Amino acid sequence: MLKLKDASLLKSENYIDGRWTTAATKFDVTNPANGEVIASVANGDAQDTEKAVLAAHAAFKTWRKKTAKERSAVLRKWHDLILENADDLGALMTAEQGKPLAEAVGEVKYGASFIEYYAEECKRVNGATIPTVANDRRLFTYKQAIGVVGCITPWNFPNAMITRKAGPALAAGCTVVIKPDAGTPLSALALCELAERAGIPAGVLNIVVGENSSAIGKVLTQHKDIAKFTFTGSTKVGKLLMAQCASTVKKVSLELGGNAPFIVFDDADLDSAVSHCVATKFRNCGQTCVCTNRIFVHSKVANLFTEKLKKEIAGLKVADGFEEGAVIGPMINKQAVEKMDALLADAKEKGAEVVIGGKQHELGGGFYQPTLLLNINDDMRLANEEIFGPIATVQHFETEDEVVAKANDTEYGLAAYFFTRDVGRVMRVSENLEHGIVCSNSGVFSTEVAPFGGWKQSGIGSEGGHEGIVDFYETKFHSMGGI
């Protein structure tokens, strides 16, 4: 039984135009660690989404006219309330998503940082005065809020992926309609409760939860009153949503899949490399778009690195996220577990060696053994697909040019990691990797003050940093004559 300090944060209705609204049907939200039902939630539909869009459109007329300082003050209250309730928000997330409680609370604090940052940043978005081309004219540009923003967020970061979008949107003067994943709606609804307490006006922030993602998605991508659409999820779904947005030529931001390389050169600090490799590979049970996907190790240090990596993986505690010391929680659902089985079966059939793990965990349910594979070749699915689970794969390489070419040989281009003590190599490799985020000698990079975005089929645009707010504005050019 889920216990919260503030039981009113557990919401089971949609939040539309400042009201908690029911639906004709409900669906169950279950704990992936044990299958227990946490709550039965209103099953919103396209009609509910239409209502939310109309409410956001009406609210935009007044929200956009508030000064940046006024919006900033309200957002700062929201940020403070999130931090004050971080333990409860973390518990909700662990219950519905499965990640260890400490990791969940960490996400809540990370998510709050975007609201704080953009509450400050919106006061520093400026237009420009352009040198005139004639003495009787003056030239200016203005930055104005784009309008209603439609958002679809994923289950793997049910708090931070909302605040990373809603924070800059609301700060810029936009209003939002958000569809969280039906598997993890409780984190989203709790954020609405706190937003209401902070004084965010009715209609400015709306949440529609529903199992019919296609119908809700069509409203968010095709409704004439939505000016911008932003999505975090798979590349396959992102392409479909992008095509739907074309019908009304919406501004689009997409944060899609990844196939992150992790490169270890022969001069690397191996202990540091192993520690960061485990952190980037197994965080959230390997279910992040920037998780290490392909580990490339120089042949001179491959055996030693692999032994160290095996030891670290063996020490990872697999347990219910509420259990003390848990590092690896359950996968999100049965389908995710079945995908791991399929990837492993394919790899073993094509010659992969299982060093550790390699099957479902004895805890059953959504739990999977942290796994390490060797003898990987390019014919294997997991050498080409986003694994999105607790399976690590090690390949060997000989030269810098060879491994950079391998790292770039993918349709994705989100995050890349490499370890070396050679400063010249740090510069060369970072410049030559075709990825939007590059980390040298580090596996930790997510921060509200820097852009997060991918190249190639990993997405369009960035979230975080100054880049994360600019797409929520339109630029207006004003030519003033008669001077």
CB atoms within 10 A of CB 83: 14
Tokens of 449: 């003050």
CA-to-CA distance for 288 and 168, rounded, in angstroms?
22
CA-to-CA distance for 240 and 92, rounded, in angstroms?
31
Q: What CATH number was assigned to the domain covering residues 260-447?
A: 3.40.309.10
Report whether 168 contacts 114 (CB < 8 A). yes
CA-to-CA distance for 309 and 307, rounded, in angstroms?
5
CB atoms within 10 A of CB 130: 13
User: Domain residues of the chain, as ranges?
Assistant: 7-256+458-479, 260-447
User: Catalytic residue positions?
Assistant: 255, 289
pLDDT along the chain (483 residues), means of 10: 94 98 97 96 98 98 98 98 98 98 98 98 96 96 98 98 98 98 98 98 98 98 98 97 97 97 98 98 97 98 98 98 97 97 98 97 95 97 96 98 98 98 98 98 92 97 96 97 95
pTM of structure: 0.96
Cα R_g (the chain), whole angstroms: 23
Tokens of 285: 């049970």
Q: What's the length of the chain?
A: 483
Tokens of 243: 């095509």
CB atoms within 10 A of CB 349: 10
**β-pair partners for 150:** 177, 229
The architecture CATH gives domain 7-256+458-479: 3-Layer(aba) Sandwich (3.40)
CA-to-CA dists, residue 193 to 12, 50, 188, 321, 361, angstroms = 11, 21, 9, 24, 37
CA-to-CA distance for 391 and 342, rounded, in angstroms?
12
Name residue, tokens 């520690």. 275
Report whether 194 contacts 166 (CB < 8 A). no
Instruction: Please give the pLDDT value at position 392.
Output: 98
Contacts of 135 (CB under 8 A, 6+ apart): 483
Instruction: Please give the pLDDT value at position 182.
Output: 97
What backbone torsions phi and psi does residue 91 show, to the nearest 5 degrees? -65, -40
Instruction: Please give the pLDDT value at position 365.
Output: 87
Contacts of 138 (CB under 8 A, 6+ apart): 129, 132, 479, 480, 483
Contacts of 376 (CB under 8 A, 6+ apart): 347, 352, 382, 383, 393, 394, 395
Secondary structure of the chain as H, E, C letters: CCCCCCHHHCCCCEEECCEEECCCCEEEEECCCCCCEEEEEECCCHHHHHHHHHHHHHHHHHHCCCCHHHHHHHHHHHHHHHHHCHHHHHHHHHHHHCCCHHHHHHHHHHHHHHHHHHHHHHHHCCCEEECCCCCCCEEEEEEEECCEEEEECCCCCCCHHHHHHHHHHHHHCCEEEEECCCCCCHHHHHHHHHHHHHCCCCCCEEECCCCCHHHHHHHHHHCCCEEEEEEECCHHHHHHHHHHHHHHCCEEEEECCCCEEEEECCCCCHHHHHHHHHHHHHHHHHCCCCCEEEEEEECCCHHHHHHHHHHHHHCCCECCCCCCCCCECCCCCHHHHHHHHHHHHHHHHCCCEEEECCCECCCCCCCECCEEEECCCCCCHHHCCCCCCCEEEEEEECCHHHHHHHHHCCCEECEEEEECCCHHHHHHHHHHCCCCEEEECCCCCCCCCCCECCEECCEECCECCCHHHHCCEEEEEEEECCC
